[in-house]
Amino acid sequence: MADLKKEILEALHKVKHPGVGNDVVSLNMVKNLTVEQHKVSLELAFPSANDPLKNSVKKACAKAIQAVAGPEREVEVLATAQVSSGRKDNSEMLPGVKNIIAVASGKGGVGKSTIATNLAVGLSMRGAKVGLIDADVYGPSIPKMFKVEDQRPLLRKVNNKELVVPVMQYGVKVLSIGFFVHPEDALIWRGVLATNALNQLLSEGLWGELDYLVIDLPPGTSDIHLSMVQSVPVTGAVIVTTPQDVAVADAIKGIAMFRQDKINVPVLGLVENMSWFTPENHPEERYYIFGKDGGKNLAFRYDMPLLGQIPIVEKIREQSDAGEPSVLDEDSLIGKQFLELADNVANAVAERNAKLAPTQIVQITEK
């Protein structure tokens, strides 16, 4: 039986999850494999609850097992959803949070907050427990994008400490510095005050259990980025760029920052936003307003996944301003594209957690 178990695992090693391009064993999806006289059963733990490829991967596994286990054995493959953790242990900050995803860019205005919003809501629509921190203390835009500008988070005492209860909207727990300060006041914030604000959202937010905590960062490479990697182990970064040369050049700086030896945060992949424009009455046409494939080529050059190409769509801007993220309209083309992006990010996290050691908090010793 032990030999057969080994053979089954070898066969499963060849079954790829087409969405990720890696096999189910390397992705750590195979759980509780039991081999009996008349039956083989296993659990396949998918990285998200509504993985659209669930049935095809399940079937491919059953077929591969049947081929080695023989027709006389019944094969049972049970699909479960289990988001893997990119954390080392449970004693650090945010003990209930499995994965921390930073959304960053080099250049401003490329669509970080739009991507972070639709990513967080999309992951939640797929059944994950999700939180979102707006770390852009200079220009917080998440409250508006979630239509919660007028809300104020409640405080709750836990173990004698006052904690801030995130605002729940579209299935996502949200905290933003925008809930606490007047926009004009935020503009004059400097270094220490700004980094303290992010630390407070991290350490004083009542986040509870989360599969993913998405952090929407300000543009560039600032004190806030450094403060973040010193406060929490960031599972991975998602880099947003437009196809334009200047945006791509700045994205490279962003990637370089996360990849620095001292920081060492894996880059999960790249999102190319504003990839092209298609007029509504000419759906067959594409106008490459900011250039063509700049982000796609960068992903190829740096050997990182292209997590999505999101076109320029008037509706994205309108829905964003109205506080109704486009992904909510899951039957629309753009809704589907954002959901695919969320799936790609979930898969990239699963792959990262299967392959790489948990990220460490950055220790910077001042001289």
Ligand X SMILES: Nc1ncnc2c1ncn2[C@@H]1O[C@H](COP(=O)(O)OP(=O)(O)OP(=O)(O)O)[C@@H](O)[C@H]1O
Give the residues lining the site for Mg ion (CB under 5 A).
Answer: 112-113, 136
Select the span of 40-48, 250-258, 282-290, 310-318 touching ligand X (CB under 6 A): 310-318
139 makes contact with ligand X (CB under 6 A):
yes
Residue 38: what residue type?
A: H
277 conformational bin, left if phi > 0, alpha if psi -120 to 50, beta if neither: beta
Out of 57, 77, 298, 310, the residue judged to bind ligand X by CB under 6 A = 310
112 makes contact with ligand X (CB under 6 A):
yes
Q: Provide the minimum distance between the beta carbon of 98 and ligand X in the complex, in angstroms, as a whole number.
A: 25
Report DSSP state, residue 249. H
Report DSSP state, residue 266. P
CB atoms within 10 A of CB 155: 11
> Coil, strand or helix: which one is 300?
helix
Tokens linked to 94: 């945010």
Residues 12, 58 contacting (CB under 8 angstroms): no
Q: Provide the minimum distance between the beta carbon of 219 and Mg ion in the complex, in angstroms, as a whole number.
A: 7
Q: Provide the minimum distance between the beta carbon of 41 and ligand X in the complex, in angstroms, as a whole number.
A: 45
Residues 198, 224 contacting (CB under 8 angstroms): yes
Pick from Mg ion, ligand X, none: which does 111 bind, CB < 5 to 8 A by kind?
ligand X
Please say whether the dihedral angle defined by the alpha carbons of residues 84, 89, 90 and 92, taken in this order, is positive or negative.
Answer: negative
Q: Provide the minimum distance between the beta carbon of 132 and ligand X in the complex, in angstroms, as a whole number.
A: 13
Query: How far is residue 365's CA from residue 320's CA, in Å, rounded to a whole number?
Result: 41
Query: How far is residue 290's CA from residue 31's CA, in Å, rounded to a whole number?
Result: 46
Pick from Mg ion, ligand X, none: which does 75 bind, CB < 5 to 8 A by kind?
none
Q: Provide the minimum distance between the beta carbon of 112 and Mg ion in the complex, in angstroms, as a whole number.
A: 5
Pick from Mg ion, ligand X, none: which does 110 bind, CB < 5 to 8 A by kind?
ligand X
Residues 235, 101 contacting (CB under 8 angstroms): yes
Residue 199: what residue type?
A: N
Beta-bridge mates of residue 271: 240, 308
Pick from ligand X, Mg ion, none: which does 312 bind, CB < 5 to 8 A by kind?
ligand X
Residue placing its CB nearer to Mg ion in the complex, 45 or 240: 240
Out of 124, 221, 222, 273, the residue judged to bind ligand X by CB under 6 A = 273
Residue placing its CB nearer to ligand X in the complex, 27 or 228: 228
Q: Provide the minimum distance between the beta carbon of 129 and ligand X in the complex, in angstroms, as a whole number.
A: 24
141 makes contact with ligand X (CB under 6 A):
yes
Residue placing its CB nearer to Mg ion in the complex, 113 or 273: 113
Residues 301, 293 contacting (CB under 8 angstroms): no
Q: Provide the minimum distance between the beta carbon of 225 and ligand X in the complex, in angstroms, as a whole number.
A: 13
Residues that bind ligand X (CB under 6 A): 105, 108-114, 136, 139, 141, 219, 273-274, 310, 312-313, 316-317, 320
